[in-house]
Chain A
Amino acid sequence: MAKTIKEINERIKKGKAVVVTAEEIIDLVKEKGIKRCAKDVDVVTTATFGPMCSSGVFINFGHTKPKIKVGGGKIYLNDVPAYGGLAAVDIYLGASALPDDDPRNKVYPGEFGYGGGHIIEELVAGKDIRLKASGYGTDCYPKKELKTKINIRDLDKAILYNPRSAYQNYNVAVNLSDRVIYTYMGVLQPRLGNANYCSSGQLSPLFNDPYYETIGIGTRIFLGGGIGYVAFSGTQHNPRVKRTKKGIPKEPAGTLALIGDLKKMSSKWLRGTSFTGYGATLTVGIGVPIPILNEKILRFTAIEDSQIYAPVIDYSKAYPLGKETVLKEVNYAQLRSGSIKIKGKEIPTSSLSSYAKAREIANILKGWIKKGKFLLTEPVTPLP
């Protein structure tokens, strides 16, 4: 029996919607079967909490007296450069921006202890941020230098906009070389010393809707502790990859561009992150509701870690050279067990995204929907 989003929203408003997480649905389906669950369950909540370098914020810091035009000039927040090539006081701070005087990898491996992602966390936490700007001066914007402090509560607008988030699947990184390497997949010990992965697997949004049947442009989501929306398909979105029989991508596939009001978000779900030898970034908490419109959609949400496969790639040579040969395909249940076997060697596994936090987000979103505080949206247009 098919349902519509409108019907589900009616039930949400009445506080009658049945909402479970993408983890809970697995056992529920085993217990009651697809048919029964598709009828009973209205919404399945999915989530992820991992480092996402393609994150950043648009800020409008308001006009000064006299006025300054930062566009075409320079702008720094806590000594970290932001992008000023927009209108007078609109700027964009990217998660991986670094202070000009950060030694980067000159002292190898660099620490990258403070960058754009850390400023975003501090800004959201309500801390004052030092702003230093310079413009070239015009007849209508005569001021050339500005030094001030900004605080999120005084900003006209602060918008989180991530060109790419919530990757549908990702590589498992290993190191076949004889030296330690420092990557965006963490520290990789030589000779298959460890294997790092980064996905919330069975809880991950796009694994639960592998063909983007419900998640589309305009979908309302949990973003950084507040409300956000899917703005577009993300950069590098690529649905045409190898898939399992169940339709689950076996390599990095779909991505989402996300947008939301930073002022309503929380530093608990936007965390400045540092990868030794690689750079600074932002870890973002995302939760996406999936309306159970029919049995097919429900079947997808019942996917479990043991049915989701990721490619193991060597990050010492194959990845940097762009010649990614898959050493092996492993599933997320194996990855989460603490070790996998590659080339006859048992190697310990580590995750970079937090499953515990993803679970927390899925439960928060479930709570919002159950209380009638969060309504579902029809996609404006599907993702490609």
Chain B
Amino acid sequence: MVRKKRVVLTFPHSLVDKPITYHLVKDYGLVFNILKARVTPQEEGRLVLEIEGKRENLNRGIKFLKDLGIRIEPLAQDIRWVEEKCTHCGACLAICPTQAFTIDPTTRKVSFDKKKCIVCELCIKACPYRAMEIRF
């Protein structure tokens, strides 16, 4: 059974240039999306990934990462677009750093692509109709 998981990886500087994601693909057949990547001032790497694959491969892949000394946490927060509350104003459009919202030029209606969301939470504050919710 194919499963999807959103995880936050935190890894020490020593691992920053290692081909970790290569192994995830090659050895465990996992498909992933990088949602957010950054190296903190402490030279720690943080990567928010969406990983997809067979359950046993997912578990093996995660074990492989842990054994390397990478901290793995599930992406605890989840952003939800409550469509019934959305007025399609577009106040979220300019604020979202990843263009997760788009407005159809013909219908002038807004849609939300969750796959692009990196849970920065900016839209939560920017939406006047409280149509963007965060779930912990």
Contact = CB atoms under 8 A, between A and B. Distances in A.
B95 A187 contact: yes
A195 interface: yes
B95 A194 contact: yes
B87 A276 contact: no
> Chain B interface: which size bin?
20 to 34
A182 B126 CA distance: 9
B93 A338 contact: yes
A49 B125 CA distance: 20
A351 B89 contact: yes
A356 to B, nearest CB: 4
Contacts of B103: 338
Interface residues of A, number: 33
A352 B128 contact: yes
B90 interface: yes
A189 B128 contact: no
B94 A195 contact: yes
Nearest to A281: B128
A113 B128 CA distance: 9
B87 A186 contact: no
A350 B92 contact: yes
A350 B91 CA distance: 5
A354 B130 contact: no
Contacts of B94: 193-196, 347-350
Contact of B126 (A187, A356, A357): A187
Interface string A275-290: 1110000010000000
Contact of A51 (B88, B109, B128): B128
Interface of B is mostly: loop
13 contacts: A186-B95, A187-B122, A194-B94, A271-B87, A273-B128, A276-B125, A283-B87, A338-B103, A349-B93, A350-B90, A351-B90, A355-B108, A356-B107
B108 A189 contact: no
Interface string B83-123: 00001111111110000000100011110000000000010
Contacts of A214: none
Contacts of A273: 128-129
Interface in A324-344: 338
Given A187-B122, A356-B108, A275 B128 contact: yes
Given A338-B103, A350-B93, A354-B90, 18 more contacts: A50-B89, A186-B91, A195-B94, A196-B91, A196-B94, A273-B128, A276-B125, A277-B125, A283-B129, A338-B93, A349-B93, A350-B91, A350-B95, A352-B128, A353-B89, A354-B87, A355-B108, A356-B110
Nearest to A51: B128
A163 B90 CA distance: 26
